[in-house]
Amino acid sequence: MFLKKVEKYRLFNPMEGKEEEVEVEIRFDPLTGKPSRIVKKPLPFTKGSFEEDLKKPCPFCEDVVEKVAARDVEVLGKNLKRKGNSILFANISPYARYSLVIRICKEHYLNLGEFKAEDFYNSFALAVEYLKEISEKIDYATITMNYLKPAGSSVVHPHIQLIASEELMDYQSRIINSARSFYKTHGKQFWEVLSENKEFEDLILSRSKWLWFVPFAPRGFDHVAAYIDKPILEVNEEELKELCEGIVKILKFYSSEYNSFNFGIFGSLKKTPYFGTLFDIVARTPFDKYYWCDVFAITKIYDEAYTNKAPEETAKQLKGFF
């Protein structure tokens, strides 16, 4: 179930004055078979100042958002939807049939340790309310977050995106097809078998309402995942709160080394025997004035994931937060 291969490369390092043998570990995702490369080396980034970006005009700040936010016509009837400090509105650059933005909080910028579970809860609750209105038309939905430029965000102000499409994204198709095939073969869900596997025990962070774990074949820096066997529309208040509290714990863990991240919640809108709702989060290069982007050719063109740290190390460090 947990396949990996080690490739070794010998080189002469003139700075050390000696030959070295460098290992590259290639792991294969136990569900989809997708490979991931672990290259254990220090990465050339540091957290720094980016004051210029913080001073730019912001469309999501409180005194502006009401005036400039695009309106959803089909479901919201051109109205903004609020819950606490969170606001739901249309994405002016849509990625799917239904494409929304949710401003998470009033604060224009937050350090990763400053995010609040309550703000995530209000934002996700708005997303679920919207999805209930379109659940007869769409089978799956995605909630994503890109925080700061290294994560692909063009707006500093914390926000998430809700995407509901008639077509799955590439890796989502692989997840669904692989999960369906696994269930047909084993009569159990992949994540149930994963949780019971003793070889995987060191990568499990918590078994509660969600299964929290570090993936065996990570798709980025300090990748963490969580799974619940429910459609996203059936996740109750307590379960949604646990997800939000888990995200805050991970961001506090990230805060010592990073300030930028991506996450995604991919969930079915209808009950299936083989898939419920999956959460993934990865850290990105810390934002500095001249930041180093961690997506390069093998990632962008060939969809080959890589990280600089073994999942077992990430899990060991994270367990104190759970």
Q: Which domains are seen in the chain, by residue range?
A: 3-38 (no CATH), 51-321 (3.30.428.10)
What percent of the chain has pLDDT above 70?
Answer: 99
> Which pLDDT value is given to residue 47?
74
- Asked whether the predicted pLDDT for residue 170 surpasses 90, the reply is yes
Least Cα distance to 66 among 100, 98, 103 occurs for 103
| Eight-state DSSP code of residue 285 | P
Least Cα distance to 50 among 242, 245, 289 occurs for 289
Residues 6 or more apart from 295 whose CB is under 8 A from it? none
> Which pLDDT value is given to residue 289?
79
> Which pLDDT value is given to residue 44?
66
> Which pLDDT value is given to residue 316?
96
Give the Cα separation of 180 and 168 in Å (integer): 15
Residue ranges of the alpha helices (H) in the chain? 51-54, 62-68, 117-134, 170-186, 190-196, 237-254, 297-300, 311-318
What digits encode the pLDDT tens for the residues 86-125? 999 999 989 999 999 999 999 999 999 999 999 999 999 9
- Asked whether the predicted pLDDT for residue 241 surpasses 90, the reply is yes
Full 3-state SS string of 263-284? EEEEEECCCCCCCCEEEEEEEE
Comparing 291 with 283, the larger pLDDT belongs to 283
In 10 A of CB 145, how many CB atoms? 21
> Which pLDDT value is given to residue 184?
98
Least confident of 33-37, 52-56, 79-83, 270-274: 52-56
> Which pLDDT value is given to residue 179?
98
Q: Cα–Cα distances in Å, from 177 out to 84, 168, 194? A: 38, 11, 17
197: which 2 tokens? 């596997």
Per the prediction, the chain carries an average pLDDT of: 93
In 10 A of CB 297, how many CB atoms? 8
Q: Which helix (H) or strand (E) holds 85?
A: none
Region 41-61: mean pLDDT is: 80
Give the Cα separation of 215 and 209 in Å (integer): 18
Give the Cα separation of 198 and 208 in Å (integer): 18
Q: Cα–Cα distances in Å, from 154 out to 50, 159, 231, 278? A: 14, 11, 31, 26
Region 148-165: mean pLDDT is: 94
Comparing 46 with 144, the larger pLDDT belongs to 144
- Asked whether the predicted pLDDT for residue 168 surpasses 70, the reply is yes
> Which pLDDT value is given to residue 53?
79
Give the Cα separation of 182 and 201 in Å (integer): 20
Contact 228, 126 (CB under 8 A): no
> Which pLDDT value is given to residue 146?
96
Three-state DSSP class for residue 211? strand
Contact 245, 184 (CB under 8 A): no
Rg (CA), the chain: 20
Residues 6 or more apart from 231 whose CB is under 8 A from it? 267, 268, 269, 270, 271, 272, 276, 277
Region 305-321: mean pLDDT is: 93
- Asked whether the predicted pLDDT for residue 252 surpasses 70, the reply is yes
What digits encode the pLDDT tens for the residues 11-30? 888 888 989 888 999 999 99
Three-state DSSP class for residue 26? strand
Comparing 62 with 275, the larger pLDDT belongs to 275
Comparing 105 with 290, the larger pLDDT belongs to 105
